[in-house]
Structure 1
Amino acid sequence: MAIKEGDTVKVEYVGLLDDGSVFDASETHGQPLEFTVGGGNVIKGFDDAVRGLEVGEEKEFRLEPEDAYGEYKDALIDTVSRDLVKSSMEMEVGKTFWVQAPHGQTIPAKIIDLTEDEVTFDLNHPLAGKALTFKIIIVEA
């Protein structure tokens, strides 16, 4: 039976960047990805791609940034006083912290510059601005 809105599915997947490198795979997590179609728990393009498939069916598809993690936005670069950063972790360029956004969601914030007085964070998702290719197989629906 074809997968539709509201169905719970289990999917084995491999996610690739344009250079062929793997950025994520269900094998890494030791189990298939399970989600409810249309539930908003996966990126829109992935959610759309499983609709109409059946158990055992395989598919390869490419998502442009707007259907994945969005475009990279310079507006999501923010510099704050070092005094405002409360963390037991040592701060260094390249390190990622998880911060709570005003609406309660936790988002990654990567340090891209550090001075004695200020910290500059990049709040873009690490995959923002990137096209993603997925190879999937539906294992349960």
Structure 2
Amino acid sequence: MFADLNAGRSRTMKRHVRHTPYSEFIHPKRVSMQISENTVVSIHYTLTNNAGETIDSSIQRGEPLAYLHGAGNIIPGLEKALVGKAAGDKLDVTVNPEEGYGERHEQLIQQVPKTAFEGNEENLQPGMQFQAQTEAGPRIFTITAVEGDEVTVDGNHPLAGETLNFAVEVTEVREASDEEKEHGHVHGPEGHDH
């Protein structure tokens, strides 16, 4: 009689209980959030030029770069390559100038008199940067030469015209907060910091 009761119960239970292999309890499958618009992404990266020289590296700084995906916070070519990736993914990305910092424009290289740098004429050196108002809005210029009373300035981004090679590891992907979406950038652990 007991055998019949147990037999009926196990058939009933089989209909309602999904049998989970023991291995899934030990190593559950994790569903990682994928990179898409309005996700906060943290990546470690090393940027090299075509000569193999390291230009920049988050690893050397000791902390990953965090950005709001889809807000234009990183160059378009890298942002496009990261769509659909998840934490733990590693990839190599080559970004051409048009998807990076653009082509070089010779008209952005100009010679200006030292007197244009009111009060700083004696301290001007190649490599110094400053912001100036242009017809297209504010632009960063780099001093490339100082000769006599003339200063050569370049309004191109230092990496304009360069093919950029990134070795990337995605370290974290999370949903952006409403405040981050509204402001268009990532907020740190302590919150809003403008």
Superposition TM-score, scaled by structure 2 size: 0.66
Percent same amino acid at aligned positions? Answer: 31
Residue 60 of structure 1 corresponds to 92
Aligned residue identity for 1:43: I
Aligned residue identity for 2:35: I
Matched, 1:91 2:130: no
Residue 64 of structure 2 corresponds to 32
CA apart distance, 1:87 = 5.6
1:1-141 correspondence runs (5 A): 1-86=33-118, 88=120, 90-92=123-125, 94-102=126-134, 103-104=137-138, 107=140, 109-141=141-173
Aligned residue identity for 2:97: P
- Structure 1 distance, partners of 2:67, 2:52, is 26
Q: Describe the shift of the 1:26–1:78 C-alpha distance in structure 2 as closer, same or farther (beyond 3 A).
A: same
CA apart distance, 1:113 = 3.1
- Structure 2 distance, partners of 1:111, 1:125, is 12
Which structure has greater strand proportion?
1
- Structure 2 distance, partners of 1:48, 1:41, is 12
4+ residue segments displaced more than 6 Å: none
- Structure 1 distance, partners of 2:149, 2:74, is 38
Q: Note the alpha carbon deviations across 1:57-109, whole angstroms, 9 max, x for none.
A: 111010011111110110110221211113647223x322222434345x2x2
Q: Describe the shift of the 1:3–1:90 C-alpha distance in structure 2 as closer, same or farther (beyond 3 A).
A: same
- Structure 2 distance, partners of 1:24, 1:64, is 17
Is the contact made by 2:131 and 2:138 (CA closer than 8 Å) also made in structure 1?
no
Tell me how large the CA RMSD over aligned residues is.
1.7
Is there any run of 5+ residues in structure 1 with no aligned partner, and where? none
CA apart distance, 1:22 = 0.6
- Structure 2 distance, partners of 1:72, 1:139, is 33
- Structure 2 distance, partners of 1:104, 1:75, is 16
Q: Which has the higher contact order (CA 8 A, sep 6+)?
A: 1
Equivalenced residues, count: 138
Partner secondary structure for residue 66 of structure 1: helix
Aligned residue identity for 2:52: G
Query: Which structure has the larger Rg over C-alpha atoms?
Result: 2
Aligned residue identity for 2:112: V
Partner secondary structure for residue 137 of structure 1: strand
- Structure 2 distance, partners of 1:132, 1:49, is 13
Superposition TM-score, scaled by structure 1 size: 0.88
